[in-house]
Structure formats: structure tokens, C-alpha cells
Chain A
Amino acid sequence: MTGPGLDLALTVPGRLDVALRADPGEVLAVIGPNGAGKTTLLHALSGLVPAAGHARLGDRELLAQPVRERRVGLVFQDQVLFPHLSALENVAFGLRARGTPRARAREAAAAWLERVGLAELAGRRPSQLSGGQAQRVAIARALVTEPALLLLDEPMAGLDVGVAADLRVELRRHLADFGGVAVLVTHDALDALTLATRVVVLEGGRVAQEGPPEEVAARPRTEHVARLVGLNVVRREGRLAAFRPSDVTLSLEQPVGSARLVWHGPVRTLAPHGDAVRVQVAARPDLIADVTPLAARDLGLEPGVEVWLAVKATAVATYATDDPA
């Protein structure tokens, strides 16, 4: 099936001011730091937060409709499953509320629970479900009503790594079957890269960057996204320069030689990162460098030690700040 496209320009005073378009079948990953307006965007689209502007879904104006008529499926960050209803009744709720006869609603709900692999847990209350199971029920509850727009608020948050990985695979399948526009708020670069067709970076309630996941990951415009994808990004002569932490060399003396970019500052933190040690240096801006444990020991790295960072010019991708990513 294919749903309607989305065209929005929304303002929530003091919190959000964004304009976006999305075609049917697109999955927009919305990333950004805490307080960037990600959840506000979802709540404005579903109607839980009043917003000005427009949000056209196909030929409907969402802002002109009350919450219950918008047919927007919202999967809440903490699920908000009805605690007094079983998993089956939770999933059937939306159909019952829209007037589907009880037996048909339960049948459809049971089919969806089967699809998310929870058929045998249909009778359980939310308090008897694990985090991953509850999230699957929440997704089924939203999708069973065949919403015209699907909104997911950090569906993988708070789950164990393995559980999140399984759910990510499953979610990918549901999103492929969905056909309408899906908006996925996430904190995780992996979600954005694996699930989304387009990434929207919010900062301070505005769109800071927008583009295909691989573009945004390769040429991040904000420090937040650079950190998410594990890149350094610096502003140089009105352009942005991105490079990998593993291409950075650390030294205690000022490095000599040409065709290098060089910074200087005290070590802020040290943390294991795979086989390497990830060193965060307060070099205005904060930069990260991956060094071997041996090098970290030889250099005597610890918080407060002044170090020089250098990266070869050939390892730096430079791009304009304002060209479309």
C-alpha cells in the first residue's frame, strides 16, 4: 500500500520552527541533541501540542483536525500502553475506538501480535512484558489502525543492545510494508543509517541539516551529528572540515611538517573504544582522537595533560557550510 505525502511548516513558539517535505514511503530520521524539539515535532504532528503553520498529509490539513481524527500513529517514547488492558486489548483499542466490532478488532489485533512475534503473550498485561515486548505491542497498536502517518519516538531507547538490534531488523520490515511517511526520532546513528531514507538534524528547534543518511554521516554540519557518527568536524575559513578520530595523531610536542591541520589543548577524557583508546581533547572545539593503548601509555595521557593534535590535509573532507548536503 502507499500512503499520502507530507508537507509541513510548523511553529511551536520557543520550541520548534521547521519546514519539511516527505514522499510516501520515506522514512525520516530526526536526530539532534536533547531539547532540540524532536518530540515536540511528533507531538505537534499528532496534535498533542498546539502548533501554528501547516501540515498537509495528502490533501488533508492535519492542523485543522482534532487529535483523534488525524489518523496519525504515534509510538510513544515510553510506550504508554494501557496498564489495565492486555496486550491484545491494547492493540485492539484503536480499532474499537473507531467503531470496529469487538470480534473483528480482536481478530485484527491477534494477527498483528502474531506479526510482531507475540501471539502467545496476547493475554499479558503491560507490566508482565519486557521492554522489547512492550515496544512491539506499542508498534502493533499504532500500525493496526492503518495510520496515514507513522511517528516513532525513540523506539529503541532503553532497550538492551541485543534486543534493540532485533527490534531494529523487525522495524525495518514494518517500515518497508508501511507505505506512508514515517518519522523516526532517534538518538542512535545506527537507527538513522539503517532505517531512514533521509536524515533531518534538529538543533534549537530548527533544521540544521537534512539529506540522505550517508551524506549527513560523511559531512556532518553540527558537532552533535559529528559525535553521533564518530567524526570530528571543525569550521575552517567559512567551510566545514570532517575527519576520522583514527586519522588524528597525538604528540606532546608541537608537530612539524606541512600540509597538516594542528590543534592544541588539554586532554578531557579517555575511554576504551574498540581496540583503541578514544581521547577527547578540549582544543576549541572539542576533538576526538583514537590512539592505541600502547601509545596512550607512552604519551602518559591522562585528563589535564596538554597535547597537540595533527591531521593530514589529505584525510580531511572539506565542504561548504551552506550547500545542500
Chain B
Amino acid sequence: MTTLADAAPTRHRDPLGRPPALLVVPAVLAVLLLTVPLVALVGQTDWPGLPARLATPALREALWLSVLTSTLAIGACLLLGLPLAWLLAKVDFRGRGLVRALITVPLVLPPVVAGIALRAAFGRSGWLGEPVLDLTGFAFPYTTWGVVLAHTFVCLPFVVISIEGGFRSAGSQYDAAAATLGAGRWTTFRRVTVPLALPGIVAGTVLGWARSLGEFGATITFNGNYPGTTQTMPTLIYVARQSDAETAQALSLVMLAISVLVLVALRDRWLGTVRS
């Protein structure tokens, strides 16, 4: 017998009809593909042995180096990328499309190729590297500065494109209003454009930092893998994996924890609250 209560609408009954299995099944597979490896990583961890595996000088050094180089790299990305993003978003100059296309190339480039390309420019016999070496005696490869350079190269396009999106979505009418009130472009940038795009800028910065933390290909190609100077967390994990799978897993767990923390921080601090 059908009662009125039976006919009450429920959350599960989509008025447009049941989603087709042809779409639902691949979607579920996608979620499983993305989550199972991470759950397995956590599940297979040797928890009792974990503190001992993590309390090594190699890990401390690599983690510190990773955080240091990623932070320096993201600082460089902001210093160079914020102005570039502003130009791309707000100034209608000749060749803007070309510039945007050029800076997008590193985004899709295999990181190993980025490392080789960096060598061609900044290597000891590179176009820029050789004159710099002759003049100052300094060369980027195999140094911590080389790591920062590689990270910056890989993350800059990412940061520029997210921040440009932030500038664009904030709208240009506020810049126009500021100009009618007598503000020059620098004042407007400082007091209007950047504050309005702040959620996008912070999101781009944090994601760029996280991306930089995981950078492997370009770094190891350009700088090798020297503990204390160029060995970051990803390269340490790569090396550990060849001799001691358990340690590699423990180190990976640290990276996973950092990634999750970044996401949580991003969601709660910015993506959720600032917009509302």
C-alpha cells in the first residue's frame, strides 16, 4: 500500500532520473584509482618501526632542504610571477598571446627535459652559465641555488597562470573606479588589484609551493643528488627506494601528510572563507 509518506521526496531520488551506469562506473573507478594507492601506502606502513626510520639525519637534511628550496622558489615565483600575471591580465600589449603561450610550455614540458634545458642555459658551459662562471666563479648546477632555480622554473608558469586567473576574476571595473579617483597604476595594484585577487594569489602560491616540494625530474637532472646540498625529499625517496623499500614508504608517508596538510590549510583558510 502506498502512503503519503512513501511519496515524500528523498535526497536520493533525482527528478531527472537515475544517473546511467555507463557514467557512474567509470567515475567510481576513477575515485578508486586515485585513492587506493594512497590508502595502501598508509596501510602498509610499518607503524612501530616508523619513528626509527624517520629519525635519521638524512631525512632531516632532505626535509629541511625541501622546505627551504621550495620556500625560496615560491618567493622567487611571486617576485617575478605576480608582475607578469598582472601584465598579462591588465595590460593590452602586443604579443600578449605569444608570451602566454611561451610561458605555458614549461608547464607541459616533461620535468627531465626542463632539467636538460636548464643545463643548456645555466650549466657550466651553458649560454648564461659560462659567462657567469667566468665572471664570478659561481655555477648553478649541483648547488642548493640550482635546486631553487629548477623549482622556480617548473613552478613559475603554474603560479603565473593561477594568479592571472585571480586578477581576471576580480574584474577590471575596480581598477577603472580607482583611476577616476586619482589613483595611479601602482597605487591601484597595491590597494585594489592585489587585495581583491588575494584568494587566487594565496591559492596559487600554496599550490605552487606544494608542487615545488614534489619537484623531482628537473632537480635531479640539473643538480644530481648530493645529501645536504641538492638532495630533496623526492630524490631521497628515490634513492632509498633502491636499497630499502620500507624507508622509502615511511618517507613517502611524510610527503603525503604534508600534501594533505596543504590541502586542508588551503580549503579552510582561503577557498572556503575568503569568498563568502
Contact = CB atoms under 8 A, between A and B. Distances in A.
Contacts of A82: 174, 177-178, 192, 196
A119 interface: no
A67 B177 contact: no
A142 B177 CA distance: 10
Given A68-B179, A76-B177, A93-B191, 14 more contacts: A46-B180, A47-B179, A48-B176, A67-B176, A68-B181, A78-B173, A80-B177, A83-B196, A84-B196, A93-B181, A94-B182, A97-B184, A98-B182, A145-B182
Interface residues of B, number: 16
Interface string A41-77: 0000011100000000000000000111111111010
Contact of A68 (B184, B191, B192): B184
Interface SS, B side: helix
A141 interface: yes
Interface of A: 46-48, 66-74, 76, 78, 80, 82-84, 93-94, 96-98, 141-142, 145
29 contacts: A47-B180, A48-B179, A66-B179, A67-B179, A68-B180, A68-B183, A68-B184, A69-B182, A70-B180, A71-B182, A73-B180, A76-B177, A78-B173, A80-B173, A80-B174, A80-B177, A82-B174, A82-B192, A84-B195, A93-B178, A93-B181, A93-B183, A94-B182, A94-B183, A97-B178, A141-B181, A142-B180, A142-B181, A145-B182
B187 interface: yes
Contacts, number: 59
Interface string B167-203: 0000001101111111110010001100110000000
A14 to B, nearest CB: 19
B268 to A, nearest CB: 20
Interface of B: 173-174, 176-184, 187, 191-192, 195-196
10 nearest A-B pairs in the assembled complex, by CB-CB distance:
A94-B181, A97-B183, A67-B179, A80-B177, A74-B180, A98-B182, A97-B182, A84-B195, A80-B173, A68-B182
Contacts of B176: 48, 67, 80
Given A76-B173, A80-B174, A97-B187, A48 B180 contact: yes
Contacts of A141: 181
Nearest to B184: A68
A126 to B, nearest CB: 11
A97 B173 contact: no
A80 B177 CA distance: 7
Contacts of B191: 93, 96-97
